[in-house]
Amino acid sequence: MRKIVLLALLTLAVGCKTDQKKSEEAVSEAPSLMAGTDTLIYPEEKYFKSIRQITFGGNNAEAYWSFDDSKMIFQSDNKDWGMECDQMFLMNISESFQDKKPPMISTGMGRTTCAYFLPDNEHIVYGSTHLAGEECPEVPLRQNGKYVWPVYDSFDIFVADLQGNIVGQLTDEPGYDAEATVSPTGDKIVFTSMRSGDLELYTMNLDGSGVQQITDELGYDGGAFFSPDGTQIIFRASRPKTEEAIAEYKDLLSQGLVQPTEMELFICDSDGSNLRQITFLGNANWSPFFHPSGKKILFSSNFEAEEGFPFNLYFIDLDGKNLERVTHGETFDAFPVFSNDGKYLAFSSNRNNGGTRDTNLFIVEWQE
């Protein structure tokens, strides 16, 4: 589950071309912090031409672009905005929120996760627990001394407009349904569900019909994204193999928990065929996203860390070759998401947080 809680502990068809151009110009005209002149970009981060910080407190992540690249949707638990747990917020890409609060477009009830724009740029899908109660559900953080993520069985996937009105519910099966993302071709949604008794990937049409299971191996499959042409899906997965690991996984899952400390990246065709593992790095390899070329993956990992930190961004080819480190921080960089035009990268980071555990959003002007 793509959880902001990890950030605290370990330590987003109708916009016209003119509006899009104005939005892009606004980003370009924003004050830039260039490599070599500010520690927001480290000298080794050669792909970052300029950077802009978007949020300034709390845990902020899962920032996803609208199809026309003019807006983003993200989740935050910023207590200065009155949040007790993650809710969804909307922004225009020229904005930042050091001195103001963005509009909240989730219900404000329960806990939310993983919002994503639909192709019309006027609606989003996201996971929410609000049908089970208005309060934030409890967040268990450790089980027998080990770090865990909750997978609430009260999560379902909803459709909302940009004014925050829920206009549809896409899932109503018992158990966890969340982590929905939309194909760049605008025809399919991939999501994680526990309806089979295990955490597997499924696809469905934009209206919730035509549900198809595409993974079926024991372990947590989640955080899935389509390739730019919609033909492939990249995701993170745990694959317990020993009797002890399998027993531990099943026991935790029966309690609505997973342990995200050992995950690798897998890729398959959009129908689940041609499944293959592309990382064998150890530790936690997660939040993968396709490069705009569709030929490599940008992801977050702590495989070089001895004690869980740092998490940095890395490139890897679809065949698992040519691993390359992209960020060079000493804390946490994750949730990388390219704009649809390939000009910008949004990601979450602990950089410039004043030594706190805050995880903020950044937009980078990308160069190659």
Burial level of 80, CB count in 10 A (0-12/13-18/19+)? exposed
Could you tell me the pLDDT band of residue 146, with boundaries at 50, 70 and 90?
A: confident
Range from 133-147, 249-263, 264-278, 304-318 carrying the lowest mean pLDDT? 133-147
Q: 57: how many CB neighbours lie within 10 A of its CB? A: 18
Question: What is the spatial distance between Cα 222 and Cα 237, in angstroms, rounded to a whole number?
Answer: 6
Domain count across the chain:
1
CATH (domain of 247): 2.120.10.30
Q: What is the pLDDT of residue 355?
A: 87
Residues 6+ apart with CB under 8 A from 313: 298, 299, 300, 325, 326, 327, 333, 334, 336, 347
Question: What is the spatial distance between Cα 297 and Cα 260, in angstroms, rounded to a whole number?
Answer: 20
Q: What is the pLDDT of residue 141?
A: 72
The pLDDT > 90 percentage for the chain reads: 83
Phi (first) and psi of residue 80, to 5 degrees:
-65, -20
Give Cα separations from 299 to 53, 54, 284, 289, 337 (angstroms).
Answer: 20, 21, 10, 6, 9
Q: What is the pLDDT of residue 239?
A: 97
* Contact call for residues 344 and 365 (beta carbons, < 8 A): yes
Residues 6+ apart with CB under 8 A from 292: 228, 338, 341, 342
* Contact call for residues 16 and 69 (beta carbons, < 8 A): no
SS3 assignment, position 15: coil
Q: What is the pLDDT of residue 252?
A: 94
* Contact call for residues 283 and 262 (beta carbons, < 8 A): yes
| Helical segments of the chain, H only | 5-9, 17-29, 243-254
| DSSP codes joined into one string, 237-262 | E----SHHHHHHHHHHHHTTEE-TTS
Q: Calculate mean pLDDT across residues 123-151.
A: 89
Q: Is the pLDDT of residue 32 over 60?
A: no
Question: What is the spatial distance between Cα 272 and Cα 232, in angstroms, rounded to a whole number?
Answer: 9
Express each pLDDT in 96-121 by its tens digit. Answer: 999 999 999 999 999 999 999 999 99
Express each pLDDT in 56-67 by its tens digit. Answer: 999 999 999 999
Could you tell me the pLDDT band of residue 39, with boundaries at 50, 70 and 90?
A: low
Q: What is the pLDDT of residue 309?
A: 84
Could you tell me the pLDDT band of residue 7, with boundaries at 50, 70 and 90?
A: very low
Q: Calculate mean pLDDT across residues 76-91.
A: 96
Express each pLDDT in 13-24 by its tens digit. Answer: 333 333 444 344
Q: Is the pLDDT of residue 25 over 70?
A: no
Question: What is the spatial distance between Cα 132 and Cα 252, in angstroms, rounded to a whole number?
Answer: 21
Q: Is the pLDDT of residue 189 over 90?
A: yes
Supply the mean pLDDT for the chain. 90
- Match 């103001």 to its residue by tokens: 100
Tokens of 267: 């890729």
Question: What is the spatial distance between Cα 307 and Cα 302, in angstroms, rounded to a whole number?
Answer: 9
Q: Calculate mean pLDDT across residues 187-201.
A: 97
Peptide bond into 288 cis (omega under 30): no
Range of the domain at 302: 5-366
Q: What is the pLDDT of residue 23?
A: 41
* Contact call for residues 270 and 231 (beta carbons, < 8 A): yes
In 3D, which of 291, 293, 341 has the Cα closest to residue 68?
A: 341
Express each pLDDT in 264-294 by its tens digit. Answer: 999 999 999 999 999 999 999 999 999 999 9
Q: What is the pLDDT of residue 147?
A: 85
Could you tell me the pLDDT band of residue 38, with boundaries at 50, 70 and 90?
A: low
Q: Calculate mean pLDDT across residues 323-332.
A: 95
Q: Is the pLDDT of residue 5 over 50?
A: no
Q: Is the pLDDT of residue 345 over 90?
A: yes
Q: Calculate mean pLDDT across residues 163-172.
A: 97
- Match 């064998």 to its residue by tokens: 280
Give Cα separations from 143 to 9, 211, 237, 252 (angstroms).
Answer: 14, 33, 20, 8
